[in-house]
Amino acid sequence: MDQILEDAVENAAIEEAPARQLNEAEEARIKSLMEIGAFYGLSKSRTNPKMRPYIIATRSGAEVIDLEKTVEALDKAAEVLKAKARSGGTILFVGTTPAAKNAVKSLADELQMPYVTERWLGGTLTNFRVISQRISQLRKLKEDQEGGRLEKYTKKERFGIMKELERLDKFFHGLFYLDRMPTAAFIVDLKNNTLAAREARKAGIAVIATVNTNANPDLADYAVPVNDKSVQVIDNVIEVIGRAVKEGRKEFESAAKQEEVKNEQ
């Protein structure tokens, strides 16, 4: 099966000449993505018609994703998220599938940005006022616990407080750093997180998402066509996105320091 799909990519590249000549770096990236199976689409019977522009061929009933368009879209997504970070924006990372959870959580924790890796709570963005109150309550309880301020309560009262802390932590742990509306949402596997995308769009938040051949790319402002069922592929995408966000944040912090020095003079 691997060979069939790889042959399909190569044959399609010959049959349909690219609109532009790829440079060496782009060719290397495409080869790297091919080696980890980033071109794997799902069965043709599950294809969303709006994904056809991103499909280069169909072989043995499976769709083959055009990796040239993947690289182009991924670079654009990284550029957009870098700009959001450069302007000091907050990015909400969403990845609720088993293949995405670890990578999404790891990057978000490193960046100290909010994330959702469990079930999306309806109203997270469209009812943000209520959600932010819950997050603030979680922060306060954690601060009280760490500061030893719960000792003043009776054993029974502490038990109740700890139960509430556990409940809030279960639902809002990943949103701990969500102290304001995010400026962008990066979603891994749009098909499995359509509610998150719809809420973000309704709230006026830019949606950047990976899409496999069964997804509706119109739900994202910036769709990255790729095999987002693979842990290895997701790790690769997250690495590119993470690098861009870190660069943007570094530029934001540098500009802030320069402004601080300027104001002190």
Instruction: Enter the pTM of the model.
Output: 0.86
The answer to whether the CB of 8 falls within 8 A of the CB of 56 is yes
pLDDT digits (tens, 9 = 90+) for 63-117: 999 999 999 999 999 999 999 999 999 999 999 999 999 999 999 999 999 999 9
CATH architecture label of 126-173: Orthogonal Bundle (1.10)
Structure confidence at residue 2 (pLDDT): 52
Name the pLDDT band for 9 (thresholds 50, 70, 90).
low
The answer to whether the CB of 34 falls within 8 A of the CB of 13 is no
The Cα 80–Cα 3 span in angstroms is 35
Q: How far is CA 18 from CA 30, 48, 84, 145, 223, in A?
A: 13, 24, 31, 60, 20
More confident residue, 9 or 105: 105
CATH number for the segment(s) 71-121+174-264? 3.40.50.10490
Burial 47-72 (b: 16+ CB within 10 A, else e): bbeebeebbbbebeebbbbbbbbbbe
Report whether pLDDT(200) > 50.
yes
**Beta bridge partners of residue 94, listed in sequence order:** 116, 187
pLDDT digits (tens, 9 = 90+) for 17-28: 445 677 888 899
The Cα 66–Cα 226 span in angstroms is 8
Task: Give the domain ranges of the chain.
Answer: 2-66, 71-121+174-264, 126-173
